[in-house]
Amino acid sequence: SRKTAPLNFISHSLSIPELRFLMSAALPAVCTPSSSSLCDVGSRLGAVLFGASILGGFRRAVGVEINPDLCKVQEAAVGAFGLEKSVRVVCGDVLDNTQLIADAQVVVLHNAFQFFLAPETSLRCWRAIAAATKPGTWVVACPSLEEQLACCTGGAGGKGATKKGKQKKGKGAARSTALDLDAWVEEHAMDYPIAETEDDEYADEEGRLFTNIHLYKVKAALV
């Protein structure tokens, strides 16, 4: 048809600059993508999967997505660009697919449940993920695990649960025992690039780019 017009499609996903930083710089600094498997929890339109395959050269990128319509979009893109050998989309609940997390060397959690599930259900998913990950697995979180878990009933425990690294008293103390981040993961210091211009939309107050992305290494599964 000649009756066309530009369309801005807003998705809940990482942008191309964020993916380029993550797949081409941050993750290659801690793992070997060509021999690693990545699992994206809540893969939506597949941006992380395609970034892992095309930008990162990951051996395998698997997305778990519960929305069948979004799965069809991802699968169509996989077929259109010939990514069948490196990208796989699993349509289902992450609670039924924890083995995919256990098999991955990198697990991506980009607002996986924060805006989509009731707090109790969200916490159940987090506990399943924490139980499935193996020691040495790298966890990419955007925003931080502390922020994502704050919306759950029970919240997150550990030093990162509060801004000052201290447990809250009273009601907050009860919330902080649901998921012990200190026992599960250790945050890895990332080398964030510096913005070249003052008006860069990805820059924080100190001019660093992509500081909403955090990287953790699993110390032990929380069973």
DSSP letters of 111-152?
Answer: SSSTTTS-HHHHHHHHHHHHHHPPTT-EEEEES-HHHHHTTS
pLDDT tens, position by position, 67-96:
999 999 999 999 999 999 999 999 999 999
Per-residue pLDDT at 120: 84
pLDDT tens, position by position, 174-185:
333 468 999 999
- In the chain the beta strands, taken as DSSP E runs, fall at 37-41, 60-65, 87-91, 106-110, 138-142, 185-188, 214-218
Tens of each residue's pLDDT in the chain, 223 residues: 788 888 776 666 899 999 999 999 999 999 999 999 999 999 999 999 999 999 999 999 999 999 999 999 999 999 999 999 999 999 999 999 999 999 999 999 998 887 677 878 888 999 999 999 999 999 999 999 998 888 775 445 554 443 333 333 333 333 334 689 999 999 999 999 999 998 999 999 999 999 999 999 999 999 8
**Cα 146 to chain centroid, rounded:** 13
Phi, psi of 70 (to 5 degrees): -70, -35
Sign of CA dihedral 66, 67, 68, 72: negative
